Structure 1
Amino acid sequence: MRDEGVMLLFMVCVIIVVVHPLKLVSANLEGDALHSLRVNFDDPNSVLQSWDPTLVNPCTWFHVTCNNDNSVIRVDLGNAALSGTLVPQIGLLKNLQYL
């Protein structure tokens, strides 16, 4: 019984060590994608000022909504007076439901 408990604890630790950083990497990829969008837009009112690519994930940025897994599901830029074109990196937002 003791060996089973040790093995279970080991497996839980492996899952935490392996899966948790993958979520951070995914969030960073999404932040990088949104930052690419930001630098491609003309933003006369500084609406995207909070889009700081040095943060762990973009879920704290204004106009960005994430799900429970810290994955971007919504980017609401209506009435922001932005101009420019979308970038291909927007395709990295795998869970995006609203733009």
Structure 2
Amino acid sequence: MASPSLFLCFILPIFFSISSTVSTNSEGNALHALRIRLSDPTNVLQSWDPTLVNPCTWFHVTCDSNSHVIRLDLGNSNISGTLGPELGELRHLQYLFK
């Protein structure tokens, strides 16, 4: 049987790593769903690739030190459309558009 210290040293860090990835991926999924709702005639959102785990690398997306999306800056980009419930997945969002 594994000792508690083995769990804390090896298993727990793996759990937190996976948990962080899932959280970040849910934010990426939410942003991709938003992209689908929007009309983007000049392809400003072309970097919003749902196959990338981390949306923090996408243009017009700013993240905090924990890789949570905190800002979407899409002002003056000629984007139109409706916002949807998927924005609720962006729990750390502080700034939306411009």
Q: Give TM-score, length-normalised by structure 1.
A: 0.89
The letter for the 2-side match of 1:95 is H
Task: Determine which structure has more spread, i.e. the larger CA radius of gyration.
Answer: 1
Match in the other structure for 2:89: 92
Structure 2 partner of 1:3: none
Give 1 or 2: higher helix fraction. Answer: 1
- 1:12-91 alignment to 2 at 5 Å? 12-91=9-88
The Cα RMSD (Å) is 1.3
Task: Measure, in 1, the Cα distance between the counterparts of 2:21 and 2:65.
Answer: 13
1:80 aligned partner, one-letter code: S
Question: Scaled by the length of structure 2, what TM-score is found?
Answer: 0.90
Q: Give secondary structure in 2 for the equivalent of 1:52.
A: coil
Q: CA deviation at 1:16?
A: 0.8
1:64-83: CA deviation from partner (whole Å, max 9, x where unpaired): 00111111010101001000
Secondary structure of residue in 2 paired with 1:48: coil
Q: Which has the higher strand share?
A: 2
Query: CA deviation digits over 1:36-81, x for unaligned, max 9?
Result: 1001100011000000000011000000001111110101010010
Partners of 1:82 and 1:95 in 2: how far apart? Answer: 23
- In the aligned structure 2, how far is the partner of 1:24 from the partner of 1:79? 31
Identity of aligned residues (%): 55
Matched pairs, number? 94
